[in-house]
Amino acid sequence: MKNLIVGNWKMNLTIGQSLLLSERLKNNLKNPTSDIVVCPNYVSLAAVSIDLKDSIIKVGAQNINANDERAYTGEVSGPMLKGIAKYVIVGHSERRIHFGETNKTVALKVAAAVRNKLTPILCVGENLHQRNEGLAGRTVTDQLEENLSELTHKEISKIVIAYEPVWAIGTGENAEPFEVEKMIKTIRRFLINKYKAKIVVSIKLLYGGSVNSDNANAYLSIDNCNGLLVGGASLNYRQFTKICQL
């Protein structure tokens, strides 16, 4: 299966800066072996989507409301993203921590994405306390159990899962590849046990957390690791291009 490299630009870049970055990526990314996605902020999303219309780089959103239409000031829903984005990040730890998203909210958002034909990139991962208590695996499988609960078995094959240990996000403290390998195995085993192997075999499992052009290859070499979710390093077109062309 082809690897998937996702750049999460988070709450960075004006429209002009976003377009500069998408132009640079477009001009520098030549025949990447992986599928590439960039996720700009909502203000820049449509402009970047138009800019990348005929490019190999696909566009994703960073959030989605669980409802398709409602009097919810400031929110963006699935139908609004149709035609603009192909992917959407759901359940990122920054949203769970700073915006109070619960496992239930995340489950409804995953379902909203699938309902609107967007591929959810579901983020799961333990915090440092949970890791130190030996609860990393349990935390992640509990998240998966709840976050996938609104999907039918058939819909499960339509998702991407990113393992992002909270302590490794934006800290420069990336997880050791052997730790990632162990968790990727745990996630794959969970999926196979819960759903039919035939359904889950195509689900891509990514790693995210302080990935850069120096350490990316170590993760892509892990058995069953099908790509990366890159934050900080995706804002630098040279680094991101390098990661995409590994």
69 is a catalytic site residue: no
> What is the per-residue DSSP string for 36-94?
EEEE--HHHHHHHHHHTTTSSEEEEES---SSSS-S-TT---HHHHTTT-SEEEES-HH
Binding mask 148-167 for ligand PGA (x = CB under 6 A): ----------------x---
Task: Tell which positions 197-216 bind ligand PGA, by CB under 6 A.
Answer: 208-211
Q: How far is the CB of 211 from ligand PGA (least distance, A)?
A: 5
Which burial class, exposed, middle or buried, applies to 22 when counting CB atoms under 10 A from its CB (0-12, 13-18, 19+)?
Answer: buried
How much is the CA Rg of the chain, to the nearest whole Å?
Answer: 17
Q: Which one of the listed residues 92, 101, 150, 181 is annotated catalytic?
A: 92
149-186 burial, b for 16+ CB within 10 Å, e for fewer? ebbeeebbbbbbbbbbbbbbbeeeebbebebbbebbeb
If one asks whether residue 170 binds ligand PGA (CB under 6 A), the answer comes out as: yes
Interface with ligand PGA (CB under 6 A), residue from 230, 237, 241, 244: 230
If one asks whether residue 232 binds ligand PGA (CB under 6 A), the answer comes out as: yes
Q: How far is the CB of 199 from ligand PGA (least distance, A)?
A: 26
If one asks whether residue 8 binds ligand PGA (CB under 6 A), the answer comes out as: yes
Q: Which one of the listed residues 94, 150, 164, 181 is annotated catalytic?
A: 164
Binding mask 105-144 for ligand PGA (x = CB under 6 A): ----------------------------------------
* Structure tokens belonging to residue 63: 């959030």
Q: N- to C-terminal Cα distance for the chain?
A: 15
If one asks whether residue 78 binds ligand PGA (CB under 6 A), the answer comes out as: no
If one asks whether residue 40 binds ligand PGA (CB under 6 A), the answer comes out as: no
Cα–Cα distance between 218 and 221 in angstroms, integer? 5
Catalytic residue list: 92, 164
Q: List contacts with ligand PGA (CB under 6 A).
A: 8, 164, 169-170, 208-211, 229-233
